[in-house]
Structure 1
Amino acid sequence: MAAASKEATKLPPLSPFGNAVAGSLGALFALTIVYPLDIIKTRLQVQSKQSKTMMKENEYYESTFDAIIKIIKMEGITGLYAGLPAGLIGVASTNFAYFYWYSFLRSKIIKQGSMSTISELLLGAFAGALAQIFTIPVSVVTTRQQTTHVKYRKDLIGTAEEIISDDGITGLWKGLKPSLILCVNPAITYGAFERFKHLVSERLSNNNNGEELSPGIIFWLGALSKTIATIVTYPYIMAKVRLQWKPPKDDEDDEDNYINKKKSFKYERYSGAIDVLQKVYKTDGILGLYKGMQAQITKAVLSQALLLYVKEYTTKYTIMLFILFGKLLAGKKKVQ
């Protein structure tokens, strides 16, 4: 009887649009919580051994904790949220596009049979690529705002205009190539998450009469999945940020520049992701390719785990809202 009751109250699957809405809500919540880590990891990623000797002591970060203290001291608590509006727009649009295409294509494939792990990975990569092509301009704007000194920082529109003025309209798509390669990151994350969730669900189904996964289990499965993906792809994550970053001009006077440079110091200009990796390796060694990874993993793991957690539980309410909305529309048609 209990099983029959459970089946009777089982909600229908959510549409691709509904999944996109749920995914966007989860992403917005997650980024709002972890945004200070996002800005810290970005600033750490654009620093190098060379810049340490050229920067003022209170503007070079030795670690995540050191960055938090110095940013608050120099910019106040709001400094930890520089570029947040652009960041929220970015994650909402990216995750909406990602989850829409992922859910849409997955539902079509599932109708023809079960999906293998490879299929999950390829599908995730393809959905991620589609999302990146349309949403990367917001990522470029966010990176610029996060790494620009508070004295010169502009709002979202002003930053976008500055990028177009400096680099043309294509400047808004800086880092697109590594971003497309990094589509393997969410592919690994969601592919691994679906596999882990399936395995754990099967185990719990055998032991606990089909009980749903608890919030805690979903959180840790999301954390594990994102950790694996981040470690594998981190050098390219760092390369993308450096391509989108705008280094201070070499000829700027020290009074107008927050970098205390020596005259002989020149910031690297990069022609592409491979060029970034080669130059960083040359100056900072293998560890340079992983600079800021601690903050990146902490931010990415918390963000992904929160996103998946919120999405899983937002999905139920989104389905209910869609059903209610459908009934309201049906009622209106009958009245007419």
Structure 2
Amino acid sequence: MSQQAPLTPFENALAGALGGVFSNAVIYPLDTVKTHIQADKNSKKEGEKVATGDEKRKGVKKQLGIVETLISIIRSKQGPTALYRGFGASMANTFIQQFAYFYWYTLVRSLYIRRILGVKEGAAALSTVMELTLGAIAAAFSQLFTTPVGVIATRQQIGSDGSGDNTFVGHIKEIYEHDGVTGFWRGLRPSLVLCINPAITYGVFERAKTVILAASGDQMTPGKSFVIGALSKTLATIVTFPYILSKVRLQTKNTPYLNAFEVLGHIFKEKGISGWYQGMHAQITKAVLSQALLFYFRDYFEIWTRQLLAFYGKKP
């Protein structure tokens, strides 16, 4: 692959989108569990276990863990199939999100190197700050297109609790009737803030890759990509998690919140700073596995993309 021409923005976007869908499809049940924990839908009151005490009077909730939430979802009316609620919408959101991100990232990065720096793309080594900046710009553009599908996917994963239409079309009608067109962009502001998440991930990945290649003089392997991808995503998730949590709460059905600061303020009063990291272990597990798998299989998807486009008579 090193002797082939670099992928165009479209080809890069297609390879990234296919890789994103594949990696997220593999771990989708974990994504459903993660969303339930962050939405606080499977909490139980300590008062149910304790006959007396402040916990019962205050109605303090105990958040279920990954395994407990998984069992709770499986025991629901839908059974194990509940783990795959919103699968179609989520995969569509993943494809659109990854395609848009990789397209804009490749395009913005190429334009910056050729037009601003005035050098050939292969000869340029960007600083970590610039990689983060370009990544954030690309992520911001992609969020404008992907937020509506993300809102629907989140609501489908959580479910309608036996009331309402939990289909893709059903949620479109419900969102439009209750919130109008702007309802499809609920959580856009925290999503824009979260643009630094992929920026940190890919910025750290590219920087670490450059350092490793310079030190070893060797090519990247799928194994190295997996490890670097996991570490990069873990760092990005820890930094941005409070806003990840607030975005999920804003996108749930009948949410009482108007903005991310209101969400975080309410959580802080109820549970303190630790509440801002509710479900972070599930988020990191899901995000790291998904991102590491994406980096691991990215080379293969680039090959498949070239072959697919060549099959349809496009330039390989």
Fold agreement, TM-score > 0.5: yes
Q: Which has the larger radius of gyration?
A: 1
Q: Show the counterpart of 2:79.
A: 76
Assess if the C-alpha contact under 8 Å between 1:11 and 1:316 holds in 2: no
**Identity across the alignment (%):** 47
Which deviations, in whole Å up to 9, do the C-alpha atoms of 1:302-329 show, x marking residues without a partner? 0111112222321133234445655799
- 1:55 and 1:178 map into 2 onto residues whose CA distance is 33
Assess if the C-alpha contact under 8 Å between 1:48 and 1:288 holds in 2: no
Provide the TM-score with structure 1 as the length reference. Answer: 0.82
Query: Which stretch of the first structure deviates more once superposed, 69-78 or 291-300?
Result: 69-78
Q: Show the counterpart of 1:269.
A: 256
- 2:91 and 2:307 map into 1 onto residues whose CA distance is 25
Q: Show the counterpart of 2:188.
A: 176
The 1:24/1:76 distance shift into structure 2, 3 A limit, reads same
- 2:46 and 2:172 map into 1 onto residues whose CA distance is 28
The 1:324/1:35 distance shift into structure 2, 3 A limit, reads closer
The 1:176/1:56 distance shift into structure 2, 3 A limit, reads farther
Assess if the C-alpha contact under 8 Å between 2:309 and 2:315 holds in 1: no
- 1:237 and 1:137 map into 2 onto residues whose CA distance is 16
Instruction: List runs of 5+ in structure 2 lacking aligned partners.
Output: 50-61
Q: Show the counterpart of 1:52.
A: 44
Instruction: List runs of 5+ in structure 1 lacking aligned partners.
Output: 1-5, 248-267, 330-336
The 1:163/1:201 distance shift into structure 2, 3 A limit, reads same
SS in 2 for 1:289: helix
Q: How far off its partner does 1:235 sit? A: 0.2
1:102 pairs with 100, 105, 112, which one?
105
Which deviations, in whole Å up to 9, do the C-alpha atoms of 1:31-78 show, x marking residues without a partner? 1011111111111112189x5329999xx8520011111211223221
2:9 pairs with 16, 31, 39, which one?
16
Cα RMSD (Å):
2.5
Aligned length: 295
Assess if the C-alpha contact under 8 Å between 1:11 and 1:319 holds in 2: no
Counterparts of 1:185-264 in structure 2 under 5 Å? 185-205=197-217, 210=218, 212-247=219-254
Paired amino acid for 1:87: S
- 1:109 and 1:325 map into 2 onto residues whose CA distance is 31
2:137 pairs with 112, 126, 134, which one?
126
- 1:56 and 1:278 map into 2 onto residues whose CA distance is 26
Assess if the C-alpha contact under 8 Å between 1:185 and 1:233 holds in 2: yes
Identify the structure with bigger relative contact order (alpha carbons < 8 Å, sequence gap 6+): 1
- 1:87 and 1:55 map into 2 onto residues whose CA distance is 36
1:30 aligns with 2:20: no
- 1:233 and 1:81 map into 2 onto residues whose CA distance is 26
